[in-house]
């Protein structure tokens, strides 16, 4: 049964091709929680088999993730922002609190988006506060693409190296999640320390 499911998944990704990778990763990155492991790892397998080109697999996966992230961004910015500004006070979201969110993303939006794209669950949601805060489009696009591209690369390489063994793919995908969580924790620690040093330097200079 598992063997049949794996074959079905592999054949589905091959049949859908590059547009399918783009579409599925766009869905994964927006409101439909399709596991990216079930898209990028099989695509990596087909790249190893010579049926797909690895660079195009990564490009389609990354661009799909970026488009899906922008769906959430624009929904939050066009619909959520006006609603919060108008009715937020009724659910204890004051203009002062909203201003803090905007200030946070202006100051720390880059690292928040990059790390958010690496983490499960968070990657589906991180575009919403960025949209609410009206984060700079260039920065949002850049760090979303870098974070999504890194995650797509990890998954595609797992499929490329391991092949069609879905059990091993899931095992190493879980290890990859643990690895990116540790990496993210280290990166945040370094970022916070550097930010504090910079703040102290500005304060002492003034």
Looking at residue 16, its pLDDT comes to: 86
Q: Under DSSP, is residue 164 helix (H, G, I), strand (E, B) or coil?
A: coil
The C-alpha atoms of residue 22 and residue 55 are separated, in whole angstroms, by: 13
Q: Which of 71, 70, 146, 141 is nearest to 115 (CA)?
A: 146
pTM: 0.79
Q: Cα 66 to the chain's mean position, in Å?
A: 8
The C-alpha atoms of residue 173 and residue 84 are separated, in whole angstroms, by: 37
The C-alpha atoms of residue 148 and residue 25 are separated, in whole angstroms, by: 10
Looking at residue 167, its pLDDT comes to: 65
pLDDT at 91 over 50: no
- The pLDDT tens digits of the residues spanning 25-77 come to 998 888 777 888 888 988 998 998 899 999 999 999 999 999 999 998 988 88
Looking at residue 22, its pLDDT comes to: 95
- The pLDDT tens digits of the residues spanning 2-20 come to 456 566 677 788 888 999 9
The pair of structure tokens assigned to 56 is: 């195009």
Looking at residue 204, its pLDDT comes to: 62
């Amino acid at each position: 049964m598992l063997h049949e499911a794996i074959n079905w998944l592999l054949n589905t990704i091959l049949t859908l091709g590059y547009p399918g990778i783009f579409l599925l990763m766009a869905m994964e990155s927006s409101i439909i929680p399709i596991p990216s492991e079930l898209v990028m790892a099989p695509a990596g397998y087909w790249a190893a088999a010579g049926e797909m080109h690895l660079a195009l697999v990564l490009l389609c996966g990354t661009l799909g993730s970026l488009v899906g992230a922008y769906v959430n961004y624009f929904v939050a910015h066009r619909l959520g922002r006006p609603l919060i500004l108008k009715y937020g006070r009724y659910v204890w979201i004051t203009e002062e609190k909203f201003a803090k969110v905007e200030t946070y993303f202006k100051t720390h939006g880059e690292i928040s988006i990059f790390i958010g794209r690496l983490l499960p669950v968070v990657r589906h949601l991180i575009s919403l506060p960025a949209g609410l805060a009206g984060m700079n489009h260039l920065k949002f696009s850049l760090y979303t693409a870098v974070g999504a591209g890194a995650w797509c690369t990890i998954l595609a390489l797992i499929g490329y190296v391991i092949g069609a063994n879905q059990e091993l793919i899931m095992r190493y995908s879980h290890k990859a999640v643990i690895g990116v969580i540790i990496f993210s924790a280290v990166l945040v620690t370094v970022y916070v320390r550097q930010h504090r040093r910079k703040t102290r330097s500005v304060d002492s200079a003034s």
